[in-house]
Structure formats: structure tokens, C-alpha cells
Amino acid sequence: MNGKMGVSCIFRKFRVLLHSQFIHMKTKRIFIGIFGRRNQGKSSLINALAGQELAIVSDTPGTTTDPVKKSIEIFGIGPAVLVDTAGIDDDETDIGRQRVRKSLDTLSTIDAAILVLSHNQFGDQEEKLIHLFQQYELPFVLVHNKSDKEALLPAVREKMETVGAPIIECSSHEKTGLKPLIQTLTRIIPKSAYQPDTLLGDLVSPGDTVVLVMPQDSEAPEGRLILPQVQVIRDLLDHQAVAISLQPEQLPGFLQQHHPKFVVTDSQVFATVSGCVPPEIPLTSFSIVLARAKGHFNLFLEGTTHLSQLQDGDRILMMESCTHVTSCEDIGRHKIPTLLQKVTGKKLQFDFVSALSPLPDDLNPYAMGIQCGGCMVTQKQLHNRVAQLSRQGIPVSNYGMTIAYLTGIFDRVTAIFKN
């Protein structure tokens, strides 16, 4: 079998995934960003990897504007999302600079990066991008594309080697270099990117009963459950535990007849639920479960204690990882700010960032950040957001931990994860 036949066999195993709202919890998609200057063949590389025309290809500079996500399955990697970005050198106009900014914003959402160059163009633009990769702790590979037209010069390769990243010569047109590229990505993508978030599976045994308290207020979507509740239920079922779902007013009667392994509640009803759950039954919240699963439990644990040090005029950055229509019962935009000012007695200022929108360029004005559970984002995406505050020494808490601290049950609802 010749080289092209081998590559062809590999790429017959690629398939485009249907976009769906429901993805099996055990399947984690790997996000791979494609970066480089304009007309380096980024979109052509995506089409070559996918084995079909997913991205628009043109000789006209600036064809790719906003980052575009393409879901595929890569043999050896599994379900993946290739993020096609605009050229990093498109900075000659206001709209071009906005495109570059949008492209760089994706650095906080990906697991690995491919830096595409061609015609031996490796200079300041690439070095600046590499610096950002390193800042975001992103594994990356350097791809010299269009090698069928112009091979990589020894002097340029030597300069590229100083970066310490793998170097692949590739031709999207001739479909060469694709197999080594996939093998390299498979090697450099951290194992943590593939691991499903652990929720409660390590705390339960088959047959254990876990009570889930799920109030259905105006913020609950009509006809369905919110994602953290679905994720916890699925995790418990996967581990052969018994999930009992009920509303706060049903809890006292249930506890008179049953003794569950532990209780997980919506943070908004902490005060009510903690009052009727006996001390010997562990209690926590969906938000705190997610904080532990996403790998920031200790950081949030430490940051939460700074709530007692807030002063009049302090500014708080509220970070929610989804976008939704809000009401007067919204936990992040109304309930937590109201409770926080009431309990501390301080007049505070609040700014809000939704979904994966970039954080403010200047974080110095903030005394604290408070992050939602992060059910809609990956562990890596949440890490990159929280790390921006942490690097500047700004304490960060979590919705559930904040409410627990202000309610006076912080130690109780975090104890289950400290053992």
C-alpha cells in the first residue's frame, strides 16, 4: 500500500458529526484551533482533515472572518471540533482587528492548537501567537503547509525548532503530511482533555440512594430540567445508584421514611434544605459538585473566604457560562448580588460576563470573581477563564460556595469532598 493509499484509508474513517443538543456524557469532544496568517491554507487543511468541503476556500485574503467550528471524528483522537480562525495578520482595518480579537478569544476554549504557515513565512506574527499558546498552556504543533509548492528551508526549520514544538510539513492539496499531523496531535493532546468530568461516581456504590432537591421556579425551563441536574442524574445512573428527584416541600416527608447516602440541592434553597437534612447526612449542591468535577474545588474553596473581606465600593465580576433570558429570580444577576450585599452590609458593584465572552482587558478593578458551575463548558474552557483572575491574585468563588458561605453552612456542604 503506497503512502497516498494509506492516508486515504485513514480518512475514510473520518465522518462529520451531526450537531445535536444532546451528546452522550461519556464522550468528550477535543477542541483544536487552527491559526495562522491569511492565505496560509488553514481552511484547506480543515477540509483535508475532514475529507470533504467543510470550510470555504479562496485566494482572496480574509475569506474566513469569525471563528467557525467544524465537528468531525478523527481516527485516533475521536470526536473533535476544528476551530477555523481568521488570519492573525488581518489588522489593517477596524473590522480586521475585530476578527483577530475574535480569533484570539478562542484560545481560552481549545485543548490544542495548530499554527499553519507556508512559503517559509515564520516571523513576529507566529512568535507572538506561540507566546499566547504558552501563556494559555496549550500544546501546539507547527505545520508548514503548501510544501508541494515550496519546501521548508533548513534555516527556517532551525528557527522553528527553537520553539520546542513538533514541526510537520504538509500539503492540503496533495493530502501529504496529514497522517503525521494526526499522530502528533494524538501524542500532544493531554490525557485530561479526554477524561469525562467525574461528578459523584466515586462517592456512591451500586444501590446507594441520593436525593436531588430541584425547585421548579420561574428560572427553571418549562418542560425540562437544567443541565446540571441532568448531568448528575445521568452520572448516578451510570454508577448504578438510585436518584430520587423531588422539590423542597417534599423533602421532610421523604427523610422521615428514608436515610439517603447524601443530598444534593439547588444552591438557591440551601437555607430551607439544610434546616431539614439531619447533620449526619452529607449535603452539597449541584454547583459545588461541578466545581469539584471541573478541577477548581480548592481554588474556589480558598477564594470564597475572601467574601468576608469585601469593602464598600468593591467591584465583583460575575461569570456565567451560558446565555439565557434573565428574570428577577436569576441566581447570578439578582439573587447572589442581593444576598451578598445584605449579608456583608457593603455597597458593592457588579459586572457580568456571559457564555464564553472574553473577560475585561483590565481585571485590576475587581476585588473578586464569582463563577457559575460551568455545566455548559469544558474543564479546559473553565480553567482558562478562572486562571486569568488567579494569575493576578484575584480570589475566585463559585455560585454554590458563595451562597453556602453567606448562608452559614459553607463547611458542611463542602465537607463531603474534603475527605
CATH of the domain at 116: 3.40.50.300
Task: Render pLDDT for 62-100 as a digit per residue (tens, 0 to 9).
Answer: 444 457 888 888 888 888 999 999 899 887 788 888 889
Can you tell me the distance from the alpha carbon of 89 to that of 114, in angstroms, rounded to the nearest whole number? 16
347 lies in the same domain as 205: yes
Q: What is the sign, positive or negative, of the torsion defined by CA atoms of 66, 366, 112, 25?
A: negative
**CA 70/CA 54 separation, integer angstroms:** 7
Domain range holding 126?
A: 3-193
Provide the mean pLDDT of the chain. 85
Residue-wise pLDDT tens digits, 206-254: 999 999 999 986 666 677 788 899 999 999 999 999 999 999 999 999 9
Q: Is the dihedral of CA 171, 172, 176, 181 positive or negative?
A: positive
Give per-residue pLDDT as tens, 125-179.
Answer: 999 999 999 988 899 999 999 999 999 999 999 999 999 999 999 998 888 999 9
Q: Is the pTM of this model over 0.75?
A: no
Of 169, 193, 217, the one marking the end of a domain is 193
Mean pLDDT of 372-400: 88
- Greatest Cα pair distance in the chain: 77
CATH number, domain containing residue 228: 3.40.50.11410
**284-300 per-position pLDDT tens digit:** 999 999 989 888 899 99
Question: What whole-number distance in Å separates Cα of residue 393 and Cα of residue 406?
Answer: 22
- Asked if residue 378 and residue 328 are part of one domain, the reply reads yes
In this structure, the answer to whether residues 322 and 388 fall within a common structural domain is: yes
Residue 19 in this model has a pLDDT that exceeds 50: no
238 shares its domain with 310: yes
- Residue predicted with more confidence, 216 or 9: 216
Domain co-membership, 232 together with 290: yes
Same domain, 28 and 142: yes
Is 31 within 8 Å of 37 (Cβ atoms)? no
